[in-house]
Amino acid sequence: MPESLKMPLLNDLAPDGFFYGGHYIVEFDPDSLWYETSLTIAALAVKRGIKTQYHVFQHYPSEAMEALSKLGVDPKKSVKDGLLSFWDSYTETVEYEASLVAKRGRKSALDKPLDLKGDIGIFTEKMKAGIPEEEKDWIHLDDNSTIFLQYNDEASFLDIWRTVHLPGTRATRRAHFLAFAKGVASPTFYSKFEAICDGIIDVKSQEEGDKIENYIRIRVLRGKTFDSRWHRLEVMKNGEVRLVGASSQGEQRRLAAIMFTDIVDYTGLTQLDESLAIRLLERHRELIRPILPKHSGREVKTIGDAFLFEFGSALEATECAVEIQKTLHEYNEGASDKILLRIGIHVGDVIHKGGDVYGDAVNVASRIEPLAASGGICISEQAYDQVRNKIPYKLTKLSQRKLKNVKFEIDVYELIYHE
């Protein structure tokens, strides 16, 4: 029986669903997050000691190496240690296309790249001689396998892949993830290639309201148990892609930093001048939303004039809160109608369901926010413990107050971000 592969990120959707020697197709929208997702999987795999091959077709190798560095991997050391291998088809194809342009007056260009017919003899000899152990048990990720079809017709590709590369994948016990952009090949090509694969993964992007959301799902995983629902993908500040499960109907529990924001005396302003209140509300959203992704934050929802945000850490939430308040301060200096905000932050367990978050952590954050001064930031003791030695701002403990509908007493700190 094939050995199960603990596949980072994808394993959350299909525990023990992937195996060494498996052959998988990723069908992705051209503007989706597949490239970022593939790099995230590669980085997480290397960190876990899984031998990983990354195959670039449409990105510079140096670009992929830089991205892996931001994800906490030392590419050069990982290559030296035998945990990471780069396959470069980008340089090969670029040089070939450049040679065609400069071919005038020459007898021939470079040998045609990515010609799968040339692989037949190589694979046949390797299979006869036996596969060396160092070539076995890798995962192989392509950034865009669609480039193969620029140098091979669909029928030849399918025939050679079925008769040569698929047996080679099994023999080397290599988990191969090929990525084909949707709509580039014929429907027949996708159907025939899907039929020979052990699994099909879809990655898509779609417009929702005024922003683009990205999703992933496992459509097929032959003989395995898996979650076939769409799950939302989110990019962190360092480029890592996180599976947030926004489309799941089940519940997911995890630790998170929750931020509540609220416009000071918005209700009173609405009663005095409703049209002005609406304009300020929209302006405040325009100013805040671009700040959020800089700190890997997620907008969970708006509640009237309030925002509910989620972060992976208290530090990210706190740094985001400071930037929000500084941005509004700069705006207010030149504005006749000022936007003043209170912000509250707490860290704790939250429950994810249907894209929303619930739990005591959300309730506590909502109770801390009103304690902040106009234009101020308050954080809970739990958040304070995580940031006190990591930020250049003063934190002052408030006199203890009972938070409404919060069972246990919680110390609250005011963050002083300006002199």
Instruction: Write the pLDDT tens digit of every residue in 174-196.
Output: 999 999 999 999 999 999 999 99
Mean pLDDT in residue range 367-374: 92
Please report which helix (H) or strand (E) contains residue 214, including its range.
Answer: strand 211-221
| pLDDT score, position 28 | 96
Q: Dump pLDDT digits (tens) for 331-359.
A: 999 888 899 999 999 998 888 765 678 88
Angle of CA points 371, 415, 373, to nearest 5°: 35
Give dist(CA 394, CA 388) in Å, integer: 9
Please identify which residue in the block is written with the tokens 């030149």. 334
Q: Categorize the per-residue pLDDT at 406 as very low, low, confident or very high, splitting at 50, 70 and 90.
A: low
Q: How far is CA 70 from CA 7, 167, 242, in A?
A: 20, 35, 15
The band of 391, judged by pLDDT with boundaries at 50, 70 and 90, is very high
What pLDDT score does 203 carry? 96
Percentages helix, strand, coil for the chain (3-state, rounded to 5) are: 40, 25, 35
List the single range of 221-235, 284-298, 370-384, 393-407 with lowest mean pLDDT: 393-407
Helices (H), 149-203: 154-160, 166-172, 187-196
- For 104, half-sphere exposure in the C-beta direction (CA atoms, 13 angstrom radius) is 2
> What would the mean pLDDT of 247-268 be, rounded to a whole number?
78
- Strand-pairing partners, residue 175, are 139
Question: What's the pLDDT at 216?
Answer: 95
Residue 99 has pLDDT above 80, yes or no: no
Q: What is the mean pLDDT of residues 3-11?
A: 81
Q: How many Cβ atoms sit within 10 Å of the Cβ of residue 19?
A: 18
**Dist. CA 1–CA 267, nearest whole Å:** 65
Residue 253 or 342, more confident: 342
pLDDT for the residue 2: 62
**Tens digit of pLDDT for each residue in 201-214?**
999 998 887 788 99
Domains detected in the chain: 4-243 (3.40.50.300), 252-416 (3.30.70.1230)
pLDDT of 413 strictly over 50: yes
pTM of the model: 0.59
Query: CA 98, CA 152: separation in Å to the nearest integer?
Result: 19
Helices first, then strands: H and E counts in the chain: 13, 19
